[in-house]
Structure 1
Amino acid sequence: MPAVSLAPYRRALASRPLRSALVLGALVRGPVFASGVLLTIHTVSTLGRSYTAAGALAAAATVAIAVSGPWRGRLLDRFGLRRVVLPSVLVALACWSVAPFVGYWLLLVLAVVAGLFVIPTFSITRQAVIAAVPENDRRTAISLDSVAVEIAFIVAPALAVWAATQWSTAWVLFATQMLGVAAGLLMWVVDPPLRGEGEARVGSARAPRRSWFRLPFLAVCLAATATTVVLAGSDIAIVAVMRELGSTAQIGLVLAVWGLGSLVGGLLYGALHRSISAFWLLGGLAVATFPMALATSPWGLAGLGFVAGLLCAPTITATVDQASRIVPAEVRGEAMGWHGSFLTTGGALGAPLAGLAIDGRGPSAGFVAVALVGLAVAGLGLTAVHARRYAGGVTVDARRFTRPSGPDGRAR
């Protein structure tokens, strides 16, 4: 088993730009995570619409954000952070100053427009995190970013739901989005570097897309999609199982334990002396998800969820790490945009897939359905890597991510 050490964290956290990037990322992502649940509550409780209507609104906003990722990332590569973030902030200010106080259909239109011009938070943060540390500390830095994402994902929606029970959902939604606008302005002021030392500057000549948007990159993105299929589907399945057990009051606790497992796993993965292929991690995540279908009590489900959670953040971290190394630095913004869109797509697919399985076979089937998807994609990815290695081809996955890293951190 790879050795675990705190030395990588000490080196990474000694970087002031990294600390700044992590804080900025958490501030901007929090309102994004909170808005999803707020839109559902606002649509159902304040606008008096059905859950189907709330789901359609969430789906439309999700699709808009997924579409925006690659082209906003490409603009980052071409024009830099400030010239991309400022229009996003202005559009968000215009849309969300009005959207919480209008009817359903206008809210849907404004949410889609805002989604298309959303601040490319994940692309910016991950580029800033990568640029802030030497290449051999990249995985550790990305792991820290994944942990920050987990914390924001756990805390922000919980605070939003609590606030919505105390005050008008319209004003809570408005306040949340204005916090996002303020965080975007702070990011514009700080303007963290998106390129590391020795890398091509923003706006430099770009590598043609056909030179990097190929099978190795797409395979890693597909692994990212499968990961969020498993996670989003497990989220729905946990709710369904807890309802069947008559323990709806403990749903939040089980989800928190699951998220805690992911946080711990992310920290452990960042402390390893070597990387692990995203396909192996995805396969492990899928295998660890299957036993959750056998849980017969809330505490049993929480324990099994913690074990599966240990592989959540590491799998996503590995896909980010691998994707960032496959592509040239001058196109990293667009590449991270594509990666984010694949993650978003997986999240959008996982919930309905689990829902279909739950409706047809019962709550436990949700875990089985999404775990099978993860296992299938992991198997295909590992088979492809093995086939390319056997054929004698030099591939990113086979040569860079399955061996211990050398002094420069490139040979994995």
Structure 2
Amino acid sequence: MQAYRYLLALPGAPAMVAAGFLGRLPMSMRSLGCLLMVSALTGSYALAGAAVAAFTLTQAAFSPALGRLADNRGQGLVILASLVVHVCGVLGLVFLTRQEAPAWALLVAAAVVGASALSLGPLVRARWTALVKKAAQDDPDQPPDASAGTPGLSTAYALESVLDEVIYVAGPALVTALAVGVAPEAGLLGALVLVTVGSLALAAQKSTEPTVARRSDTRGAAHLVGGVVRERGMWVVVAVFAAFGAFLAAVDIGVVAFAREQGSPAAAGLLLALVGAGSLVSGLAYGALPAGVGPGPRFLLSTLVLVVGAVPLCLANSVALMAPCAAVAGLAISPTLISGYMLVESLVPPESLTESFAWISSAIAVGTAAGAAAGGPLADSAGALGTFLLSAGAAAAALLINLAGRRSLRAAAGAGG
């Protein structure tokens, strides 16, 4: 754990991690909180699902633009401005749902909530990048990085990936307890309180905020969103993470369907926890690896392991056999995220880093939505096996895209991205 202790000893790091964790916890609460509130107060799961879809898609669409604004104007200003809109959106959604407003009004409010839901993960990773690079300049004797490049950076990304795993375990439990035990809207309002406190705390920490860099492009508004994806091999990373998101959604649905087929629906929680545990352990181990090959080959290897881990899910025929298979399926999740973020950091200029990280979040969100849309009907028609085959197909797609894009990634790296 020496590498992690070193990182957390950097000036401002503990406060940054705490604020980022608190502000990111709602990312695993909002969709479920919206679903629980709208379905309970309106009695319509269809409307609740539509509201969640509106929230998810608008968040995916606007996240890169907000990331670009953070690169251009500074994180503090964007955090505060988006938070004001987000608070109004959530309170409006709760009010309209309570007042039994028309469906279109709920969907508009949900879209506002999603569009203003600033993803703090890219912001925190951008802060880590600036913080670790500064430390590398100030202290040449620090521990070597796990992948070629900036010392300590992959360890920082590994720490954030591990925290994300904790968030996706704790968040749903917390929002369900609030919505079921207190009031239908309590889960969503609880998430609002957390994101408000965490966002304000992060915005107040100027010492870790990256400096606003002068942009190297002058193409104006037409280049506002999408320019990063069209250049420097980023399209490969974005496409891989879209397939990766579909893999995650299909695994979740498949595990739930499998547990129900086995007559043990409660086992789904344990099996999904094992997927998360496998990811958490591999993430911690990845962050402590000694220097070796660069992020590009590691990104390719992680998607290969993703395919290998998806196959046993299709073969297990009991909960006892599925348990180790679930843990194995999770082993490649954190390494894929960590190596992907490391690869992006090596491809794009500093003035586009937050936007580029936001594209990863958006790609995963879109892939997850597509995986859920396809996995649900498959679970109904073909059972858990059909959904697990979908997860294996999504993993294979991630690997094939990665292989097909190797030339673009190498060319981008060679161009000094």
Shorter-chain TM-score tier: 0.7 to 0.9
State which drifts further: 132-141 or 16-25.
16-25
Q: Distance in 2 between matches of 1:384 and 1:124?
A: 27
Please say if 1:285 is aligned against 2:311: no
- Matching residue of 1:318: 339
Contact 2:253 / 2:379 at 8 angstroms: preserved in 1?
no
**Maintained 8 Å contact 1:357/1:366:** yes
Q: Give the drift of 1:211.
A: 7.8
Contact 1:33–1:157, Cα closer than 8 Å, also in 2? yes
Displacement of 1:295 in angstroms is 1.9
Q: Is the 8 A contact 1:220 1:319 kept in 2?
A: yes
Instruction: State the Cα deviation string for residues 361-393 of structure 1 (Å, max 9, x = none).
Output: 2211111112112213312322442x569xxx7
Alpha-carbon distance in structure 2 between the residues aligned to 1:71 and 1:344: 15
Q: Deviations over 1:49-76 (max 9, x none)?
A: 12x3222211110111011111111111
Equivalent position of 2:71 in the other structure = 77
Q: CA deviation at 1:306?
A: 0.6
Which residue number corresponds to residue 144 of structure 2? none
One-letter amino acid of the counterpart of residue 311, structure 1: A
Identity of aligned residues (%): 28
Whether 2:168 is the aligned partner of 1:153: answer yes
In structure 1, distance between residues paired with 2:116 and 2:164: 21
Verify: 1:89 aligned to 2:88, yes or no: no
Could you tell me the TM-score, scaled by structure 1's length?
0.87
2:132 match: secondary structure: coil
- CA distance in structure 2 between the aligned counterparts of 1:354 and 1:215, rounded to whole angstroms: 33
Q: Where in structure 2 are the equivalents of 1:4-403 lying within 5 Å?
A: 6-50=1-45, 52-103=46-97, 105=103, 106-134=105-133, 135-191=150-206, 193-195=208-210, 201-207=211-217, 213-214=230-231, 216-273=233-290, 274=292, 275=295, 276-385=297-406, 394-396=411-413
CA shift, 1:333, in A, is 1.9
Count of matched residue pairs? 385
Partner Cα distance (1:116, 1:173) in 2 = 16
Residues 128 and 192 in structure 1, CA contact (< 8 A), matched pair in contact too: no
Q: Which amino acid aligns with 1:205?
A: R
SS of 1:362's equivalent in the other structure is helix
Write the distance in 1 (CA, Å) between the matches of 2:173 and 2:279. 17
Give the Cα separation in 2 of the matches to 1:314 and 1:17.
26
Indicate conservation of the 8 Å contact 2:238/2:360, yes or no.
Answer: yes
Contact 2:314 2:385 in 1 (8 A): yes
On the 8 A contact 2:33/2:185 being kept in 1, the answer is: no
Instruction: Return the alpha-carbon distance in structure 1 between the equivalents of residues 254 and 196 of structure 2.
Output: 34
Determine helix, strand or coil for the equivalent of 1:280: helix
Return the alpha-carbon distance in structure 1 between the equivalents of residues 157 and 13 of structure 2: 10
Name the aligned partner's letter for residue 269 of structure 1.
Y
C-alpha contact (below 8 Å) 2:303/2:336 kept by paired residues: yes
Per the TM alignment, residue 203 of structure 1 is displaced from its structure 2 partner at its CA by 4.7
Which ranges in structure 1 are unaligned for 5 or more consecutive residues?
1-5, 196-200, 401-409
CA RMSD of aligned residues (A): 2.4
Unaligned 5+ segments in structure 2 are 134-149
Q: Distance in 1 between matches of 2:114 and 2:28?
A: 13
Which residue type is aligned with residue 64 of structure 1?
A: T
Write the distance in 1 (CA, Å) between the matches of 2:198 and 2:408. 45
Residue 120 of structure 1 deviates from its aligned partner by: 3.3
Seen in structure 2, the aligned counterparts of structure 1 residues 217 and 43 have a Cα distance that, compared at 3 Å, is: same
With over 3 angstroms needed to count, the CA separation of the structure-2 counterparts of 1:364 and 1:118, relative to structure 1, is: same
Report if aligned partners of 2:240, 2:397 keep a CA contact under 8 Å in 1.
Answer: no
Measured against aligned partners, the alpha-carbon deviations of 1:313-347 in whole angstroms (never above 9, x if no partner) come to 11111111111210000111221222221121111
Report the Cα distance in structure 1 between the residues aligned to 2:68 and 2:397, rounded to whole angstroms: 31
SS of the counterpart of 1:136? coil
Residue 198 (structure 1) aligns with: none
